[in-house]
Amino acid sequence: MYLIITEKHIAAKRIAAILSPGKPKQVRVSGVDTYEFGTNAEKMVFMGLSGHIIGVDFPKAYNNWQKVDARLLISAEIISTPTHVKIISALKKLGKNATKITIATDYDREGELIGAEALEIIQKINPDVPFDRVHYSAITPKAINEAFENPVSVDFNLVDAGHSRQVIDLIWGAALTRYVSISAGRLGKMFLSVGRVQSPTLALIVDREKERDVFIPKPYWEIFATLSDKNMETFLTRHKTTRFWDKHEADCVLAKLSIGNNVVVSGVVKSKKIDKVPTPFNTTEFIGAASSIGLSASNSMRIAEILYTSGFISYPRTDNTVYPESVDLRAQIELFKASSFNQYAEQLLKKKKLVPTRGKKETTDHPPIFPASLAKKSELKEDEWKVYELIVRRFFATFADPAEWETMRVKFDINGEEFKVNGARLIVPGWRWYYPYNAPEDRLLPILHEGDILTVDRIEMIDKETNPPSRYGQGRLIRIMDELGLGTKATRHDILSKLYSRAYVHGNPLIPTKTAYAVVEALEEYASTITKSDMTSKLEEDMDRIADGSIRENDVIKESRDMLDSVFSELEKNKDDISESLRTGLREDKVVGTCKKCGSQLMVRRSKRGSRFIGCEGYPDCNFSLPLPKSGQVIVTDKLCEEHGLYHIRIITPGRRPWNLGCPNCNFIEWQAVKEAEKAKRPKTPRPKSITDIAGIGKVTVQKLADAGIMQVDDLVEADAFKLSKTTGITVKKIKSWQDSAL
């Protein structure tokens, strides 16, 4: 029996369908679906894994955060642990009788390691089974048949490089996360995640936000004139001094201008501008383009993975920006002649020679991202089609001609003051016809000649301020991570997802929370190595050297342990300062605003029973409070409610869209209004005559209330629920519900 192992179930199903002469038979083995055809010794069985089926971890003795010092994790033994018991069981059952194994996982560092994990499991029970490896960049009949006709060997250097990343990330992440979380007093689900790539990335976001925090806006003024020609066509011009930093100077210019002034066209310069053809998509460029059409980095990569495993696009994790000679580019374009893209395909196929653009990065593992087969809009979900169309159009654009613009720069004299305007008109669409995303609009002007006389229709002076540096959007941040060597094409979007899930950031562009500030500031001051890209990019380079066989895995892991040990030396010198810095910063992340009742701070707090609410620091003298949702992580944003002086709240729940709750006071008022409206719709019930008529109040409760001086229904209605709760031990929530039912 010939066993073929793929990285995922869908890949096994598709490859089996491609290689089978008929329809493969679906067979369940140990609860795992496999696909087979043929008989006896010639039978081929295709089995998909679920990514990594073996993980790395520390022995159980190291699991207790309180008893085992974080620094001990640096030198701790690393063990392998099974993560998918059913899949491992199926592998053993099939592998025991296999006469040949082919590893058909994705062709990259992670894929090589995943395949090697499966191979190692089989070799323990079938040590002499022959094995090989197939590489492919698209799950299409042509690519798969070529791959199986040209098998290669498993690259164990690449396996070691992938394994070294797992080990290094585990050691750094576990040791630093434990140390920082304990220092901050944040354990359990609220632990503070720190990582080799995550922390330098978070530092980029926080440092940019600090630049915004200290930015002092500088006022300036702009002067505009709306002009009209003899045909009454109007257009806007700006004074040649684009920004006046002196208000007096701007006022002097404005005083010389008035509606009805004659305007002389003092200069006209026409020229042409060439818009260069874009290069093919690699992962970083694809994520940036997908971000510009409204998709997050993680979502765009998730969709790209679906399109890849469905056979519609090539492998989406690639650094390459040069199409290899092995890809028949004309044939790929011809696929689209019978599709909704036919007019674009036909136009390109008119070219005698198809010469695509070449980017700066050329690698040999995978081609740039391109459409591998034809998909119909009806076959895909809305977002999937959106991504597929983006990739198709980018592919077409790389073969197109440059776009050409006609530009016109015109100067005007208005009573001795020079005004200017620039016009532009797309005269040769070129590649922009194929790829219309983010295209600049034409700036059309009337036909103007030097010496023409026009009229001033309107004069306007606008006061403005300089803006702080812009925050990083996901696409831009991933480009910066790429430039700095932070993470890899396969991991960068996951790093951003982790920052969101840990409530370090929210929104897009990314806004850091006070928790992010606290962690980054503590690390930058007392262990700056963790927040800089130098160390992690050095380790990334070393992992590449493992892959090409020039350095051993054990040497790189030892080097990383030594680096981390020196980091801990710095941390432990400043243990108390780090703890104080973290705890102070984390407290700020809970401040929602100022209590209008007493002037104290309102904070996100927890009751003795664990429920969350916004409470006043002036308690028990001030009992002002506001409710919060039962689940999800509470993020206090920097948006302030002008009416109540409270910061808006955002609720983050894994697997769901963030909920912008807004101002908690406005939200509470709205909730009360809805509740009152619902109450008004319900049939009215008679007011209880005695306390015992209220549902939920029995003999024991009556006695508790009596001991607190509550004898009549009116006594209960008029009582302070918080004070009564303290006296009787009955929850505030219950007392308030009784008061509501007694009204």
Neighbours of 104 (CB within 10 A): 28
* Cα–Cα nearest to 120, from 171, 78, 82: 82
Can you tell me the distance from the alpha carbon of 743 to that of 736, in angstroms, rounded to the nearest whole number?
A: 11
The token pair that represents 490 in the structure block: 């396969």
- Is 472 among the residues known to form the active site? no
Per DSSP, the residues of 42-83 read G-EEEEE-BS-SEEEE--GGG--TTTS-GGGGGS---EEEES
Q: Which long-range contacts (CB under 8 A, 24 or more apart) does 17-21 make?
A: 18/139, 18/140, 18/141, 18/144, 18/145, 19/44, 19/144, 19/145, 19/148, 20/44
Identified catalytic residue from 35, 220, 308, 315: 315
Both tokens of residue 401?
């001609």
User: What is the spatial distance between Cα 568 and Cα 175, in angstroms, rounded to a whole number?
Assistant: 9
10 Å Cβ neighbour count for 643?
10
Q: How far apart are CA 512 and CA 506, in angstroms?
A: 7
Q: With contact defined as beta carbons under 8 Å apart, do 201 and 499 qualify?
A: yes
- Asked if residues 492 and 251 have their Cβ atoms less than 8 Å apart, the reply is no
Cβ burial 544-583 (10 Å sphere, 16+ → b, else e): ebbbeeebebeebbeebbebbeebbeebeebeeebbebbe
The secondary element (H helix, E strand) that includes residue 275 is: strand 262-275
Residue 675 backbone phi and psi in degrees, to 5: -65, -40
Among residues 644, 683, 637, which one has the least CA distance to residue 667?
644
Number of H helices, E strands in the chain: 24, 23
Please list the active-site residues: 315
